[in-house]
Amino acid sequence: MPRKTDLSAQAQNTSPDYIGLVEFLIEPFLDNSDSLHVDCEELNQKKRVWLRVAFDSTEKGKVFGRGGRNIQAIRTVLNTAATIVGQSVYLEIYNSDNGLKANPLSTQKQKPIASKKPKISKNQNSRSRFRRSRKPNEY
């Protein structure tokens, strides 16, 4: 009978390779993978991890994706890996042209964005807008 191993206990002792994970997730979006630079800094007894990523500003659209979907997916993967080991991850993205000392392109908080429902005026019923006003025998 195979022994069961406690993965959570093993995960608490090791920290994920954040640099390798970021490179693995971002490189497919880049035409020039040499422009990718990743810096990792662990703070507060390795409870918080700051990842700083720099690449060519011309590649920004591909990495961020439509509506920021790609970068949000990358943040989700990083947050999941960090949560397993009891850490929190912050991802900042910079222009490679100016180096890591430039202002970040993205300082978005990693909380999910709540979707807003469209407003319907009180006078309009959603069904009445789509009904046609004709008599049944009008064909």
Q: Which two tokens stand for residue 35?
A: 């422009």
pLDDT at site 79: 94
In the CATH scheme, what is the code of domain 7-95? 3.30.300.20
Orientation angle between helical segments 18-26 and 69-84, nearest 10 degrees: 160
pLDDT at site 85: 92
Q: Which two tokens stand for residue 112?
A: 């999910």
pLDDT tens digits for range 16-41: 899 999 999 999 999 988 889 999 99
pLDDT at site 92: 93
Nearest alpha carbon to residue 90 among 102, 70, 104, 69:
104
Q: Residue 53, Cβ neighbours under 10 Å: how many?
A: 26
Dist CA 76 CA 49 (whole Å): 14
φ, ψ for residue 64, nearest 5 deg: -75, -40
Confidence (pTM): 0.61
Domain boundaries, given as residue ranges, for the chain: 7-95
